[in-house]
Structure 1
Amino acid sequence: MRTSLFGLIFLTSSALGYEVKTPPLDTDWTYKVGTDPWPDYPRPQLQRSRWQSLNGIWQWGEGTSESGYPQGIDVLVPSCIESALSGVMQSVRTSWFAREFEVSEDLNRKGYNILINFEAVDYQATVYINDQIAGNNTGGYWRFSFDITDLVKEGTNTLRVDVFDPTDADGYMIPIGKQTLNPSHIFYTPCSGIWQSSWWIPIAEVETNISIPSVPAQYVTQLDVAADMHGTIDVTVTTSKSSKDVVRITVTDDSGKDVAIGKGRANEAFSFKVSSPSLWSPDSPTLYNLTVAVGDDKVASYTGFRTIASGEIDGVKRPLINGEFFFQFGTLDQGFWPDGIHTPPNHEAMVFDIKQLKNLGFNMLRKHIKVENALFYRACDELGILLIQDMPSMPANRLPNADQQKEWERQLDILIEQHKNYPSIYTWIIYNEGWAQIRDYYPEEYLTKRLKSLDPTRLVDSTSGWVDHGYGDWHDNHHYANPQCGAPFYSTPSTPYDRKRIAIQGEFGGIGQNVSEEHLWKVQKAIDTINQTYEIDETIEAWNYRGHVLLSELRDQVEKWACSAAIWTQTTDVEGEVNGLLTYDRRILRPDVDQWKSDIQALKDAAKARNGKK
């Protein structure tokens, strides 16, 4: 079957060979995904009006691809090949993906470039166009693009991606978060392959008769925007050429009214003001649209006006949002799915979790040692959820060598560079519970400084949990099940509360409640680890009672001492864990909604009462 858009013709599989595998547990969205997944524009903060998705059915096989257009089995892109949605549901170290496309004779119009984009491929990707290497990328969580103008031809072209994923391989220390080939309790099924969207760059805006996906010879490659509570917008527009062309930015409110126009030069930082903007906060997540024009190129983006800071109120260090302190309460959010592993089934499923948290009164979540697709962060911006974003850790209980540490730090920089525009993100976490944290010197000291240099607009939580040497904005304690937040008591391996920093209960709760097999991850090894849960409550009534007790303890610590924020474990069950607010299939919500709303509001009220009170 052939599909055409703007003169570019894609040869697509009829998908007769593809079918969803039966996962150990499904969701209400598993069998609604279809063969045209994730049709949304993948990069909402650098958006052009015309584009072509490459998502859908590809060919897939184990090993390294052969030349031309190799034939394998039908696989759904994007998806982890370990997932049921992929149609493969197996884990291999090396595999390939392939498809064909045809292009029109207008392809090589002078002065225009054609780019191919991938939002995330786990872990190392080599991209071929017509048997020629377009480029390589290392890192399973990051977007990348290649200019393929000189590699394509009129007529039929081949696209192949070879993928190597060394999860758990001897000699490798890579950012993997909770992935493992041997899942057990708090470590889960891994993800390999093209697990986020792939697509072509859009058509040039300047010549409307051009009928190929292309952009001007000079085009915007990155847009960095930081807007504060006073209306100042700091901007850097990076282009494919080191020119100093004029940049024009139009700011539009949600009614469609233009409220400001800023001008500067490409590849140079500049600032301009918006008068009396409506501020972004969890209670009022106001966003403004941006239109950015440089030469012949035009892109759309958005921003929110807010200021994140650390300040002192009545002798206590507090996190300030737009100059105010309010209690920040969220969940530990793993971002795993029984049918898609790392990849949510669709946009509706992805935002379901966020909406459930908002309905209960949560105003924050901690994205735990995983990175999501750009549309997840856009949803948090729109719905009003503050985000604490972890850097994906290297394997726990092992330490990297110098080269491995350097590579991990390179990818830490990428995390910041690719995510620093989202208004909802307000804190970066470097290390979690000492996992792969070097002990004979303190890398978090210079890494905290580096992050502050890359992004001076946010807070840094240098060490979440323990192995804390006093760096960063937060003093972060983990303790199950009871909280110990900014209080004069603690349990090892945590450290006594450091009054020079903000107190956060980085993890607590974790209480579990077993459910019927219908809602469990039907893998015996996972079921056998359920009893490793910190606490198991026999009934849902007991579970809600214990939740009330723990939130009441936390409220006491907000009232009496210095607790400013807390993270409840966790949003959903995952595989062998049954301590979620939701079951892994998202079909059962454990909390008594009225009780939890009341308890969460009590936390916020206690924090509010502390303002101006000694």
Structure 2
Amino acid sequence: MVYRKEYPRPQLVRKEWLNLNGAWQFEFDDENAGLKEKWFKKEKKFGRKIEVPFAFQAELSGINESTFHDWVWYRREVEIPKDMLGKQIFLHFGAVDYRAAVYVNEQLAGTHEGGHVSFSFNITDYLTGEKESIVIRVEDPSTDETIPRGKQFWLEESAGIWYTRTTGIWQTVWLEAVHTTHLSKLRFTPNIDSGDIQIEFEVAGEYKGKKALIEISFKGSKIAEERIEIFDSFTKRSINLYNRQIFKAGYHHEGWNWSPETPNLFDVVIKIIDAEIVIDEITSYFGMRKIHTENGMVYLNNKPYYQKLVLDQGYWPQGLLTAPDDLDFKKDIELSKEMGFNGCRKHQKVEDPRFLYWADHLGFLVWGECAASPIYSEDAVARLTREWIEIIERDYNHPSIVTWVPINESWGVPNICNNEQQKHHSLAMYHLIHSLDPTRIVISNDGWEMTTTDICAVHNYNHGHKEELEKYEHFKHSLSTKEKLLMSRPAGKKIYTEGFDYQGEPILLTEFGGIGFKIGDAAGWGYTSVSSEEDFVSDYERVIKGVYASRTLHGFCYTQLTDVEQEINGILTYDRKPKCDLKEIKRINNLWHIDTVE
């Protein structure tokens, strides 16, 4: 059985591609002898099999081992389909954790460092036209705390808030055939105030004399067509959407905007044309969406918008970081919306683009986060910076993403309160992301010890058990007003680090709750615990009412969507079974009204 058969790059889709998921040869290289012994040679056979795209630690990989193996090798033979021959062949990887070296027919095609984003190599010159040998060497240092690892533990057995590691290929691998002249990058920037969509694209290969045809449709009706002479490898063009026949006929443009309530998307086809022959064609989409902060509130499409988010770790029992099926992403979003949440914070993980595809199409806000390194070092800074550059390049076009979170709870900057170098790192990440993406909100250090930030993002799990009345009253009191919230130290940490203070940004409670409720044989922990469905609903309502009593909070993120390994503090079990009637969660979430916020 081949898992994850869908086209993996939803924002730039072509018809000619070959999915390489499935059975690969596999080998551990615990002595790190593979390079010296030239395991990339065709005569070398590996003794194991693995199901790609699952890491060897995952059950669905067919190996299911959690012991340390810092060097692993993959091998597969591939026949290029006849209709792809004569074109440029690219080998794509959704994500490989952590360092990858790719060999094609015994030749090094390229290397990549960074475990969470996509990369590709043009392998045309290495092909023979017969059976092609693809070999991948992966290095994933199990105990190196300077690499961005997120929730992946540096010990062999998961514990506390730390989960099973992921080594090697964990997203789809595929081949793609393109003309020598083809679209290589695509970027959409919407402006709902003017009604413009700015389209930027790059063309690889010989572009002189070529044309680009851009067709934009909305709900099946073509509303714009632009034919552009290509004079450079980079082209930028703004197209006004509101000054169209459909708008003139009375379709108000606000009905075109993207939001969780109205996830409207525009379909795009871009063709590269040479002498009236289409030599490259891609399909894509965009949403007209604006996010900004003003008057201490978050605005979506120029209207105040209260965010009801749920913390989503993005783990599955059989696949770990890899969703077994594309519909698993859809299911998580649908269950979240069923509970009255309008978005999620993807925690310590850069999620598969297919999740973002479903978030775009179903209407679900996403806070994009990256795996952190546990400690600070100059190497850790460089690695995190490189990953963020690649994250934004990959995910810029998704309208569902409204916020970037480069640092969480001072992970990777443990001494930020009194260390100027670490303060500069926080500031550098904030400004770097804004320099790459001026369209979204950026949080400098989610939880506490913030520097310059667009949202004051506070974590507070101090709601106590229902019998701890004094503790609960203190929880409500600390959230009740702006002054009390800014003076609070819920984890013994200042809300802003030394030298920085509140500048009027919206205040959101971005981690809280975590009510533990054991179902069946599950064993683990929560920040507080209950023993029945009735108590779970009652305690959830108690905690949410404490949040809604605040006169200053403009949104929240509840911990968490599902149980994960030893954490049993999800609203759903690890295998996505509801712990209670989800209508009750929605009823409680819907107790809020905008008039309660200052």
Shorter-chain TM-score: what band?
A: 0.7 to 0.9
The aligned amino acid for 1:39 is K
Amino acid at match of 2:567: E
How far the C-alpha of 1:495 sits from its partner, in A, is 2.0
CA deviation after TM superposition for structure 1 residue 311, in Å: 1.4
Query: Among residues 299, 302, 307, which one is paired with 1:328 in the alignment?
Result: 307
The aligned residue for residue 356 of structure 1 is 335
TM-score under structure 2 normalisation?
Answer: 0.86
Alpha-carbon offset, residue 570 of structure 1: 0.2
Which amino acid in the other structure matches residue 128 of structure 2? Answer: K
Alignment of 1:19-34 (within 5 A): none
Gaps of 5+ in 1: 1-34, 202-213, 521-526
Kindly report which structure 2 residues correspond to 1:126-205, keeping only aligned pairs within 5 A, or say none: 126-169=101-144, 173-182=146-155, 183-201=158-176
Superposition deviation, residue 72 in structure 1: 2.2
1:465 counterpart = 2:465: no
What is the CA-CA distance between 1:302 and the residue it aligns to? 0.5
Aligned counterparts, 1:118-517, within 5 A: 118-169=93-144, 173-182=146-155, 183-201=158-176, 214-230=177-193, 231-241=195-205, 243=207, 245-254=210-219, 256-264=220-228, 265=230, 266-275=233-242, 276=247, 277=253, 278-295=256-273, 296-312=279-295, 317-395=296-374, 398-400=375-377, 402-437=378-413, 439=416, 440-441=419-420, 442=423, 443-469=425-451, 471-482=452-463, 485=479, 487-489=482-484, 490-491=488-489, 492-495=492-495, 498=502, 500-517=504-521
| Residue identity matched to 1:272 | I
Deviation for aligned residue 1:373: 1.2
State the Cα deviation string for residues 212-231 of structure 1 (Å, max 9, x = none): xx211121111111223242
Distance 1:555 1:404, change over 3 A: closer
5+ long unaligned stretches in structure 2: 248-252, 274-278, 464-474
Query: What are the superposed Cα offsets for residues 484-529 of structure 1, whole Å, 9 maximum, x if unpaired?
Result: 5564322231427935111110100011112221xx2xxxxxx4xx
In structure 2, give the amino acid aligned to 1:403: D
Q: Distance in 2 between matches of 1:362 and 1:412?
A: 27
Alignment counterpart, residue 2 of structure 2, candidates 36, 40, 46: 36
- Quick one: which amino acid aligns to residue 372 of structure 2? S
Residues 446-487 of structure 1, C-alpha deviations (whole Å, 9 max, x = no match): 321221111111111111011212x12100110004365564
Counterpart of 1:175, as a letter, is P
- The 3 A distance-change label for structure 1 pair 242 and 505 is farther
Report if the CA contact (8 A) 1:465-1:494 is conserved.
no
SS of the aligned residue for 2:27 comes to strand
Change (3 A) 1:580 1:136: same
1:553 matches 2:546: yes
Does the CA-based 8 Å contact 2:201-2:234 persist in structure 1? yes
| 3-state SS in 2 of match to 1:220 | strand
CA distance in structure 1 between the partners assigned to 2:223 and 2:49 by the alignment: 49
Contact 1:104 1:155 (C-alpha < 8 Å) held by counterparts: no
CA contact (8 A) 2:146 2:379 kept: no
Q: Given the alignment of the two structures, is residue 586 of structure 1 paired with residue 569 of structure 2, yes or no?
A: no
- Deviations 1:362-388, CA, capped at 9 Å, x for gaps: 001000010121111000011111011
Q: Which residue identity does 1:280 align to in structure 2?
A: W
Measure how far apart 1:71 and its partner are: 3.2
Which residue identity lines up with residue 323 of structure 2 in the other structure? Answer: P
8 Å contact 1:167–1:176 — kept in the other structure? no
- Partners of 2:596 and 2:226 lie apart in 1 by 41
Q: Judge conservation of contact 1:103–1:153 (CA < 8 Å) in 2.
A: no
User: Structure 1: which amino acid aligns with 2:353?
Assistant: A
Which secondary structure does the structure 2 equivalent of 1:52 belong to?
A: strand
Equivalent position amino acid for 1:467 in 2: E
8 A contact 1:367–1:390 mirrored in 2: yes
- Post-superposition Cα deviations, 1:281-321, rounded to whole Å, max 9, x if no partner, equal 00010111111123321111001111111112xxxx11110
| Distance apart, 1:48 and its partner CA | 0.6
User: Structure 1 residues 268 and 610, CA, compared in 2 at 3 Å: closer, same or farther?
Assistant: farther
Q: Aligned in 2, Cα 1:263/1:323: closer, same or farther, shift over 3 Å?
A: farther
1:598 equivalent in structure 2: 587
Aligned residues of 1:319 and 1:564 also touching (Cα < 8 A): yes
Secondary structure of the corresponding residue to residue 445 of structure 2: strand
State the SS of the aligned residue for 1:417: helix
> 2:148 touches 2:383 (CA, 8 Å); kept in 1?
no
Alpha carbons of structure 1 residues 319 and 82: separation in structure 2 relative to 1, 3 Å: same
Corresponding position: 1:101 with 2:78: yes
Note the alpha carbon deviations across 1:581-601, whole angstroms, 9 max, x for none. Answer: 1011223x1243333222211
Shift of 1:73: 1.7
2: CA distance, partners of 1:477 / 1:563? 10
Q: Is the 8 A contact 2:40 2:135 kept in 1?
A: no
| Aligned mates of 1:452, 1:431 — CA distance in 2 | 14
Deviation at 1:407, TM superposition (A): 2.2
Listed one character per residue, the Cα deviations across residues 59-112 of structure 1 (whole Å, up to 9, x for unaligned) are 111113341162322210110110000001124111111111234788763xx3
1:420 and 1:322 map into 2 onto residues whose CA distance is 18
Matched with 2:42 is 68
**C-alpha offsets along residues 430-460 of structure 1, whole Å, 9 cap, x if unaligned?**
1100001263222222321221111111111
Cα distance in 1 for partners of 2:394, 2:40 equals: 33
Partner of 1:15: none
Identity of aligned residues (%): 30
Matches of 1:178 and 1:595, distance apart in 2? 30
Q: Tell me which residue corresponds to 1:17.
A: none
Report the aligned-residue RMSD. Answer: 2.0
Checking the alignment, whether the CA contact within 8 Å between 1:279 and 1:304 is kept in structure 2 is yes
Q: Number of paired residues? A: 535
Deviation, 1:350, is 2.4
Q: Which amino acid in structure 1 is aligned with residue 138 of structure 2?
A: V
Q: Distance in 2 between matches of 1:309 and 1:474?
A: 10
- Shift, 1:181, TM fit: 4.0
State the alpha-carbon separation in 1 of the partners of residues 199 and 437 from structure 2.
13
Which amino acid in 2 is paired with 1:251? I
- Give the TM-score normalised by the residue count of structure 1: 0.84
- Conserved in 1, the CA contact under 8 Å of 2:447 and 2:495? no
Please tell me the residue identity of whatever aligns with 1:468.
M
